[in-house]
Amino acid sequence: MQVLLKKYMEKNRSDCPISCSLEVFGDKWSLLIIRDIMLRGKVSYSEFLESEEKIATNILANRLSVLEAEQILKKQVSPHNKSKYCYSLTPKGVDLLPIVIEIMDWGAKYHVQCPRRELGKRIKKEKAAVISEYLDKLHRDARHASKQ
Amino acid sequence: MQVLLKKYMEKNRSDCPISCSLEVFGDKWSLLIIRDIMLRGKVSYSEFLESEEKIATNILANRLSVLEAEQILKKQVSPHNKSKYCYSLTPKGVDLLPIVIEIMDWGAKYHVQCPRRELGKRIKKEKAAVISEYLDKLHRDARHASKQ
DNA sequence: TCTTAGTGCTTGCAAAATGCAAGCAAATAT
DNA sequence: ATATTTGCTTGCATTTTGCAAGCACTAAGA
C-alpha cells in the first residue's frame, strides 16, 4: 500500500464533522479535481493534468486513489477505449456541490482578480436554483455511471 | 518576514475563485480555527490550542498570522488584560459561514462516527434559517469588534 | 521585591508531503 | 513494426508539518 494512503487508515483527529471532512478533502488539490468533474465535464487523468493550476502527476494519482477509496469518485474503464479510464462522481461526491459552490461564491466576492463568469454571476443572483439544477444533473450522471 | 508567509506574496495558480480560495484556507487547520471562533466562541491562542484536534503551536501561530494578513481575522489586545489577545472574524471571515456549514452538513451525513449534535440536527432540518441567524449574530460581533 | 503562573509565541530538528523530471508499461493508431 | 496515447511510478530535492523545548512579557501572590 502506498505510504501516502496510510493516514486514511488511522483514527480521526476528532469526531467533529468539519474536522473529519477536512481530513478527506482539506488540501489544495482535491476540490480542484472535484471542480473539474463537477463543473467542467472532465473525466480522465490527462484532462485533469491540463488544468491551469498544473497539478503534479504523482499528486494527481494519489488524490484520485484517495477520493476513490473514500467513495467520492468512481473509476471505470472507458467503454470504447480500453486504455482510457473515466472518473465520475458517486452520490457522496455529488453532495460536495454545495461546498464547491459556496467556495466559488466566496472566492468571486473577495478575490478581485477572479472575474465572475456566467456561472459565478448566476450563483450570485440565484444560488439555490443553480445548486438544485446542478444536483439534478449530477445525480443523473451518477446513476448513469453506476449502471455500467 | 516569515518564510511560511512568503507564498502569499506570490502569484495565484490561476484566476479560478475556487483555486484562489483554496490557496488561502485549503489545508487541514485554517477552517478549524474559523470553526472555533464562529461556532464555539473561542477568541484566544490558548483556547485554540485546547481543541481536541491538537494543533501544533507553530502551525497555529502561522495560520493566525496568515488569516490576519488575509483580513479574515482581526487581532486585538484584550480590553482588561494587556497580556491577552482576542481574535475575531472580519466581515470577510463571517462570510465563510456558509462554507463551514456545508462542510459540517456533508461530514455529519457521511461520517458515521460524527454524531449530529444540536446544531447539526437543526442544520439538517432548516439550513437556511440557521445560516441567516448565525450571519446576523456574527456580523453584530464583527461590528462590535471593529469599534474597539 | 522575588517568585510563580499565564499567555503567546519562536526555534531547532526530524518526519512527512509536495513538486519536478524522467521513465515505463499496456493499449491503440499508423 | 513503430509511434503515440494514456495513466501512471520512481527518485530526488524542496517545502511543510509535527513535536519538544525555550523564551519574553504581563500579572498576581508571598
| A96 and chain B in contact, CB less than 8 A | yes
Residues of B in contact with A52 (CB under 8 A): 13-14, 16
pLDDT of chain A, 148 residues: tens digit per residue: 344 444 444 589 999 999 999 999 999 999 999 999 999 999 999 999 999 999 999 999 999 999 999 999 999 999 888 889 999 999 999 999 999 999 999 999 999 999 999 999 999 999 999 999 999 999 999 999 887 6
pLDDT for residue B101 is more than 90: yes
Q: How many domains does chain A have?
A: 1
Grade residue B118 by pLDDT with cuts at 50, 70 and 90.
very high
Strands B81-89 and B73-78: antiparallel
Q: Nearest C-alpha of chain A: how many angstroms from B109?
A: 9
Q: Answer whether residue A21 is part of any domain.
A: yes
- A62, three cell numbers: 494519489
Q: Does B41 touch chain A (CB under 8 A)?
A: no
Contact between B114 and A32 using a beta-carbon 8 Å cutoff: no
pLDDT per residue as tens digits for the range B16-75: 999 999 999 999 999 999 999 999 999 999 999 999 999 999 999 999 999 999 999 999
Residue B39, classified by CB atoms within 10 Å of its CB into exposed (0-12), middle (13-18) or buried (19+), is: middle
**How many angstroms separate the CA atoms of B55 and B51, rounded?**
8
pLDDT score recorded for residue A11? 80
Q: Tell me the C-alpha distance between B121 and B6, whole Å.
A: 41
Cβ(B64)–Cβ(B45) under 8 Å? yes
Distance CA B137, CA B37 (A): 12
B chain contacts of residue A37, beta-carbon cutoff 8 Å: none
Mean pLDDT along residues B74-100: 94
Residues of A in contact with B108 (CB under 8 A): 17
User: Do the chains contact at B92 and A98, CB–CB below 8 Å?
Assistant: no
Rg of chain A in Å (alpha carbons):
16
| Segment B9-20 mean pLDDT | 88
Query: How big is chain B by its Cα radius of gyration, in Å?
Result: 16
In a domain, residue A7? The reply is no
Phi-psi region at A14: left, alpha or beta (left = phi > 0; alpha = psi -120 to 50): beta
Q: Is residue A24 part of a domain?
A: yes
B105 against A83, higher pLDDT: B105
Q: What spatial distance separates the first Cα and last Cα of chain B, rounded to whole Å?
A: 27
How many residues are there in chain A?
A: 148
Q: Is the pLDDT of residue B3 over 80?
A: no
Q: The domain spanning residue B8 has which CATH number? A: 1.10.10.10
CB atoms < 10 A from the CB of B31, how many?
22
Distance CA A78, CA A55 (A): 23
Domain that holds residue A53: 16-147
Q: Is residue A6 part of a domain?
A: no
Residue range B111-130: mean pLDDT, rounded: 96
Inspect the interface and report whether the beta carbons of A12 and B113 lie closer than 8 Å.
yes
- Residue A90 included in any domain: yes
